[in-house]
Amino acid sequence: MSGVRLLVGTRKGAFILTSDGKREQWKIDGPHFAGWEMYHLKGCPVAPNRLYASQSSGWFGQMIQRSDDGGQSWETVGNCFAYDGIPGTHQWYDGTQHPWEFKRVWHLEPSLTDPDTVYAGVEDAALFRSTDAGQTWTELSGLRDHETGPRWQPGAGGMCLHTILLDPSDPKRIFVAISAAGAFRTDDGGVTWKPINQGLRSEYIPDPKAEVGHCVHRLAMHPSRPNVLFMQKHWDVMRSNDAGESWHEVSGNLPSDFGFPIDVHAHEPETIYVVPIKSDAEHFPPEGKLRVYRSRTGGNEWEALTNGLPQSDCYVNVLRDAMAVDTLDSCGIYFGTTGGQVYASSDSGDSWNAIVRDLPAVLSVEVQTLP
């Protein structure tokens, strides 16, 4: 019988949650690497028992872990992330120029075809690739060397490259997003990059329609339609029908269009999910009600999903990498909160249950659908 495996990264370790295809009973395994910040864990699409994990500490730096048995055991692999050449400078919070400095890995994205190839999105913003299963890392420096690089600036959480989308129909096309520079695309395997931010409007920067400087929080894509992208921006939920060449707003009737994660239903490319957050100053749900919003029309028309979620006195946040969908029928939706809850829906969001309630603050949630 098929099953699912959730990979949950938290402020104080990693947890692996497993269930059969019914998704009613869960086994919780962890903490792995107790005490360490586990920013992100992700499995290889072509070798599901191979997992990569980003492990970080303000004291002891960045580690990368790899498992070849679905998380039962781990091997520490390469953690040397050296920028290519002499790093230049980017804009600092006060408008001065500041040297690029590696801080941590926010996101790991394994290749869709090769289990030994994996991409890492890092802070300060850059994209690295390993082709030897994480032992060594090479920067795809064409991104950081883009002529707009000196104008990129950190968001409140740092200048992080947090989203990596691999186009399943074109191995040379990759989308990334950086806070607070915006979205970028390569069509030549990472050699050259172009900003894809036309149509974004951000009132918090001097030129609201600038080529770069937008605080993109997350991108999402359905694998069957890689030219259609969805974006949760600092404010605004956006959509592109042309691989990022242009964007238009689809916030519609959301109670707030601020938020972090955005995801797409596994079997319905026009069904998308967001978690509205009150504002950039108040990182919690509007009215203290934790609501996932679902649009079945690719945006603009949204419905609140509340069944099983706390509808009073709830003041948690849901971070950008903390939502995932499985590919079972019906589609499972999962998200984790800064309050340590991991919620699951096995019916496309109609109803929710807390798998676990008291983990450390959840940084990331990924799900693997297992045969």
Which residues contact another protein by CB under 8 A? Answer: 33-36, 57-63, 76, 79-80, 82
What are the percentages of helix, strand and coil residues in the chain, rounded to 5? 0, 40, 55
User: How far is Cα 155 from Cα 179, in angstroms, rounded to an integer?
Assistant: 5
Q: Which is nearer to another protein, 60 or 281 (CB)?
A: 60
State whether residue 65 is helix, strand or coil. Answer: strand
Q: Which is nearer to another protein, 32 or 239 (CB)?
A: 32
User: How far is Cα 183 from Cα 350, in angstroms, rounded to an integer?
Assistant: 31
Tell me the closest approach of the beta carbon of residue 171 to another protein, in angstroms: 31
Q: Measured in whole angstroms, how far is the alpha carbon of residue 208 from the centre of its chain?
A: 24
Encoding tokens for residue 33?
């690497």
- Cα(first)–Cα(last) distance of the chain, in Å? 7
Q: Which is nearer to another protein, 12 or 296 (CB)?
A: 12
Encoding tokens for residue 226?
């890689």
Q: Is 71 left (phi over 0), alpha (psi -120 to 50) or beta?
A: left
DSSP 11-52: TTEEEEEEEETT--S-EEEEEESTTSEEEEEEEETTEEEEEE
Tell me the closest approach of the beta carbon of residue 80 to another protein, in angstroms: 5
Q: Which residues does residue 262 pair with via DSSP β-bridges, in sequence order?
A: 274
Q: Residues 161, 171: contact at Cβ < 8 Å?
A: no
Q: Which is nearer to another protein, 1 or 86 (CB)?
A: 86
Tell me the closest approach of the beta carbon of residue 55 to another protein, in angstroms: 8
Q: Which is nearer to another protein, 63 or 196 (CB)?
A: 63
Nearest to 157 by CA among 228, 260, 226: 260
Cα dihedral 2→106→114→245 (10° resolution): 100
Tell me the closest approach of the beta carbon of residue 35 to another protein, in angstroms: 5
Using alpha carbons, list the distances in angstroms from residue 24 to 2, 3, 54, 79. Answer: 13, 11, 29, 38
Tell me the closest approach of the beta carbon of residue 75 to another protein, in angstroms: 8
Tell me the closest approach of the beta carbon of residue 191 to another protein, in angstroms: 26
Q: Which is nearer to another protein, 55 or 202 (CB)?
A: 55
Tell me the closest approach of the beta carbon of residue 333 to another protein, in angstroms: 32
Tell me the closest approach of the beta carbon of residue 62 to another protein, in angstroms: 7
Tell me the closest approach of the beta carbon of residue 193 to another protein, in angstroms: 27
Q: Which is nearer to another protein, 23 or 32 (CB)?
A: 32
Q: Which is nearer to another protein, 46 or 80 (CB)?
A: 80
Q: Which is nearer to another protein, 72 or 198 (CB)?
A: 72
Letter string b/e over residues 8-19, b meaning 16 or more CB atoms within 10 A of that residue's CB: bbbbbbbbbbbb
User: How far is Cα 145 from Cα 334, in angstroms, rounded to an integer?
Assistant: 36
